Chain A
Amino acid sequence: MRIALFVTCVNDLAYPGTGIAAVRLLERLGVEVAFPEAQTCCGQMQYNTGYPSAAVPLAEKFGKDFAGFDAVVVPSGSCGAFIRDVHPKLVEGAVPPVYELTEYLIDVLGVEQVGAYFPHKVAYHPTCHSSRLLKVGDRPTRLLRAVEGLELVELPGAAECCGFGGTFSVKNPDVSAAMGADKVTHAVESGAEYLVAADNSCLMHIGGTARRSGAPIKTIHLAEILAATRETVNA
């Protein structure tokens, strides 16, 4: 099986740690990962802002960049859902099967225990696109529960949107900020040290809100927890 990583444009530029973690995790599990270097972006921003035609070349390009692979793994629920649900509406031709990271681990590799070690209290935020569009369900929390040392605590109002919403965050900054502030409050209430999610764009919004207000909560992508081991934690 030839597996390719679609790292996403946000991760590539701003959160390379997530891509690195995904690669280390998958390699640790014996998967040989390819990274087609021509890849860029899925086009979701253009599409969701009301410019579907600007997303078409990117959907075409995605098809070309990943042609010939048996599966594409994406460490982002939002981009995963967009490629799977919307690309087929924008362009003709087969898209290789796309899996969000937790789907790939559980559905394809059949593992829940990935040999991770993360001795911290964490709360999981099920981002809207992961849960409502992609329907990843309890896969992320099953993986988290199997992590050694990790204590998973409940996040109040977990299913509520954090208020990022792509260009929504700048087109409606006040509502977006109010939603983000409430999410941060809930994260702090949960008593967790880390708020974890499978989408860095939401985490960028939540983390940026927390940092600005000095709230005692850190944000982290799920892949980085799953990639952590005793060696990396103690290093």
Chain B
Amino acid sequence: MTGVYVGMPAFPTAARAATRNAQLRANLTRATHTIRDRRARAVAELEDWEGLRQAGKAIKDETLAHLDDYLLQLEAKVTEAGGTVHWARDADEANRIVTELIRATGGSDDQPHEVVKVKSMATQEIGLNEHLAAEGISAYETDLAELIVQLGDDLPSHILVPAIHKNRTEIRDIFRERMGEWGRPAPEGLTDTPADLAEAARLHLREKFLRAKVAVSGANFMVAETGTLVVLESEGNGRMCLTLPETLISVVGIEKIVPTWRDLEVFLQLLPRSSTAERMNPYTTMWTGTHEGDGPKQFHLVLLDNGRTQTLADEVGRQALRCIRCSACLNVCPVYERAGGHAYGSAYPGPIGAILTPQLRGTASELDASLPYASSLCGACFEACPVAIDIPEVLLHLRERVGREAKEHGGHRLERAAMKAATYAMTHPAVYRAAENAAVRARKLIPKKVPFGAGKAWTETRDLPELPEQTFRQWWKETHR
């Protein structure tokens, strides 16, 4: 991953600002609680939800275990159908490939290069829009929420609802102030009713759809047996991107593959119910190569690795690649709800971001090393995940990795020493008893506010319990011997 989120502070620092932003917290709480209740109802409708969930997990695991075979099959099928497949090792390579493909479609000074985009996490991950902008190419997001984020010079903060942190009034203000700079301005007297906002976006976008020669998309699934790509969406703007322009470039993570059409049956149930709490999403678009007189004349598929094969090599961590980006884990996560999506510093916020980002990017930066700790391990994410990713398990696994890597660089010294000391005391009963007795004797010495370290973090907002006069062990001795 590059560009977009570089230079972010570590999670606890970034989260602090969000916890103090009352408007942001109110927006987030309202939105996530509404969707989580609806999701719970949509899931409860199906008697065999757990069976479906296990099927989704099994299909993904099987696919990941033979990913190389399925990718080669996909490449062959896409090529057979008239498409071109490109392999991108990392973000730079993917960005370069896409830029060259766009340039190759022509364009001139009076008709500058521009592309329309259907919401895509993979292109956010690689910072494609920023890269294209630097190359003089304008990339227009066409998903309503993405459009809001783009017009507002903002970053997405949710997988499915990138502008979840904004309320209607804030959105109206962004439309009024910024739409004109990007194309058709907002209508006079725009109100903040959803219908008005949607209409303003529709008019604004329509001009871009009709003008654009190139579209860039991601995909929710790729079917190996036919070389078909699949996008699920709610607004229909995606379908416009996928059918109107002459050239379609799809940038997709290599893990998004399913072996057969039959496998889609499982995911087309799991995904909408988990993400938008719908039985079925309004638009499902599928495209296979190119067809004379119908849809794009050119189709390019850029298969993105960018840390995925290294994630695949980790036996515990690889389950993160099962993710179908439904965002159910975000909507139930109490930490995401308070910290907001930006604190996670990548295209993938919330619990999935906390386990996926440090695997894709590595844990060298302070931000990435702080992500596995951005969880109270409450387990709500695991419970909600439609492909049963054991997020708490991966978090613990990554904490160990961070600790191990820190040790190699001499970091986390105090913590490691404290853990070892605790284990030592607790495996030496005499030491343990002496420490306990000392603590109880000194109970009055524990200050109400500790000015530094972990004690400060605790006592800033909470009281520490006053220690009792007697430990349980002492009571037991007095009463039971």
Contacts and interface: CB of A to CB of B under 8 A. Distances in A.
Interface in A201-229: 204-205, 207-209, 211-212
B138 to A, nearest CB: 37
Which range contains the number of B residues in contact with the other chain?
Answer: 35 or more
Contacts of A19: 472, 475-476
B460 A177 contact: yes
B476 A208 contact: no
Contact of B423 (A37, A54, A164, A211): A54
B195 interface: no
A208 B462 contact: yes
Interface in A16-45: 16-17, 19-20, 23, 35, 37-38, 40-41, 43, 45
Given A15-B465, A175-B338, A176-B376, A50 B399 contact: yes
Contact of A12 (B20, B436, B465): B436
A129 B477 CA distance: 31
B383 interface: yes
Given A46-B423, A49-B419, A132-B379, A171 B471 contact: no
Interface string B455-481: 001101111110110111111110010
B97 interface: no
B52 interface: no
A225 to B, nearest CB: 18
B12 interface: yes
Which range contains the number of A residues in contact with the other chain?
Answer: 35 or more
B338 A170 contact: no
Nearest to B376: A165
Given A12-B436, A173-B12, A57 B423 contact: yes
B444 interface: no
Nearest to A159: B380
B132 to A, nearest CB: 35
Interface in A166-199: 166-181
Contacts of A209: 461-462
A172 B419 contact: no
Nearest to A163: B376
A55 interface: yes
Contact of B376 (A23, A43, A49, A161): A161
B467 A161 contact: no
A128 B373 contact: no
Interface stretch (B203-211, B224-232, B275-283, B425-433): B425-433
Contacts of B12: 171-175
A104 to B, nearest CB: 18
B338 A212 contact: no
A159 B474 CA distance: 36
A211 B461 CA distance: 10
A159 B471 CA distance: 31
Interface string A139-181: 0000000000000000000011101111111111111111111
Interface of B: 11-12, 15-16, 19-20, 25, 334-335, 338-339, 372-380, 382-383, 396, 399-403, 415-416, 419-420, 422-423, 425-427, 429, 432, 436, 439-440, 454, 457-458, 460-465, 467-468, 470-477, 480
Given A55-B423, A173-B461, 10 more contacts: A14-B465, A37-B476, A45-B422, A54-B420, A159-B380, A161-B334, A169-B376, A171-B457, A174-B12, A212-B461
24 contacts: A9-B426, A12-B472, A13-B471, A19-B472, A19-B476, A23-B476, A23-B480, A49-B419, A50-B372, A58-B423, A58-B427, A132-B378, A132-B380, A160-B378, A170-B454, A171-B457, A172-B11, A172-B373, A173-B457, A175-B339, A175-B374, A178-B25, A207-B465, A208-B465
